[in-house]
Amino acid sequence: MGSLPTPTPEELAAAGAEERLLLARLRQGDAVAFTTLVDRWTPSMLRVARMHVATQAIAEEVVQDTWLAVLRGIDRFEGRSSVRTWVFRILMNQAKTRGVREKRTVPFASLASDETGEEFSAVDASRFHPEGHRVAGHWASPPPRWDEQPVERLESRETISAIRRAIDDLPPAQRTVMTLRDIEGWDAPEVCDALEISEGNQRVLLHRARSRVRAALEQEMAA
Amino acid sequence: MSAVLPPMHCNEFVELVTDYLEGALSASDLLRLETHLGACEKCAHYLAQLELTRDLAGSITDDDITPEMRGDLLDAFSRWKAERPADP
């Protein structure tokens, strides 16, 4: 399916340039530039903030405080990182400060290490031939083919909603990583930076998340 | 790489596929994985499913923010703008 390509380096560079342009307009007090950035990033800011604080209401306050800090700090931003990285770093600081004050939250790093420490199989072991079998470790029950499904079904609203539900059902750290990577289109270093996790942990969380969502989609397709 | 590499089986493939997509495999595991992939249609299909899952997730639009929150932020912006020294 070629209809949903991942962005090229040129497109990513163009996105960075566009964000800098929006920031320049924001410095001049352009409300449209402000709402453009707010609408674009607030949903993922809420997701990240929610990892650190106890309630959605507190997460909303943290995000509001972050936008205020962005406005107050706008003249000090020197452009050494992308605008998005800068904004999310401020968010992380606000969220952690708030989380510590609430004393109710588990740091993201510890959620992440709890989740990566759990037993996991991308595909249930029963679907492979067992030890001692002539072709042990090979598919006994391979994934049913999707390329025989009509494209309209694969790209249907029902399929997309099923993926959405499967992502919402993931454990929190996996949900956050997959949302940022695959829904929001961030690259791996940006996610590691925003969530303060190692590249290795980021990959494990992404692997578990995508494997689970694929499995949920397999069930959906079989229905 | 002089030593003979152990062959990769399907149950190992499904655990290494993300490292493969992320470009994080060692040279020897990359060789093992690509050798397996070239010979196993089922795993090729599994890989295509994971890529499709990833790409379809990209067409999800995240929730919009509530009108209340948007309104509060715009109010804060107006206050910030009013307090800000005029542009040169």
Provide the chain A residues 81-120 that lie in CB contact (below 8 A) with chain B: none
Structural element, H or E, at residue B52:
helix B41-57
Residues 6+ apart with CB under 8 A from A210: A178, A182, B18, B50, B53, B54
Which residue pairs from A8-16 have beta carbons closer than 8 angstroms and sit at least 24 positions apart in sequence? A12/A187, A16/A82, A16/A83
**ipTM of predicted assembly, 2 dp:** 0.86
**Cβ contact B54–A210 (<8 Å):** yes
Set of chain A residues whose Cβ sits within 8 Å of the Cβ of B69? 42, 60, 63-64
A35 contact B CB<8A: yes
pLDDT reported for residue B4: 83
Task: Report pTM.
Answer: 0.83
What is the C-alpha separation between A183 and A174, in angstroms, rounded?
13
A11 touches chain B (CB under 8 A): no
CA distances from A116 to A52, A188, B10, B29, B74 (A): 18, 17, 22, 21, 40
Lowest mean pLDDT among A10-24, A37-51, B21-35, B72-86: A10-24
Residue of B nearest to A207 (CA): B18
* pLDDT mean across residues, chain B: 91
CA–CA min distance A104, chain B (Å): 24
Higher pLDDT, B12 or A13: B12
Q: pLDDT tens digits for chain A (223 residues)?
A: 334 455 666 766 777 789 889 999 999 999 999 999 999 999 889 988 887 787 889 999 999 999 999 999 999 998 888 898 899 989 988 988 887 777 655 667 788 888 998 999 999 999 999 999 999 999 999 999 887 878 888 888 899 999 999 998 999 899 999 999 999 888 999 899 888 889 999 999 999 999 999 999 999 988 7
Distance in Å, alpha carbon of A106 to nearest chain B alpha carbon: 25
Per-residue pLDDT, B20: 98
Report H helices in chain A: 9-27, 31-50, 56-73, 83-102, 108-117, 151-154, 157-168, 172-178, 188-195, 199-222
CB nearest to A128's CB, from B10, B52, B84: B10
Chain A interface mutation, best of B43, B68, B77, B78, highest count of A Cβ atoms under 10 Å: B77
The string of pLDDT tens digits covering residues A71-93 is 999 999 988 888 988 999 899 88
Q: From B52, which residue of chain A is nearest by alpha-carbon distance?
A: A1
Higher pLDDT, B84 or B74: B74
The verdict on a CB contact (< 8 Å) between A31 and B77 is yes
- Predicted confidence at residue A51, as pLDDT, reads 76
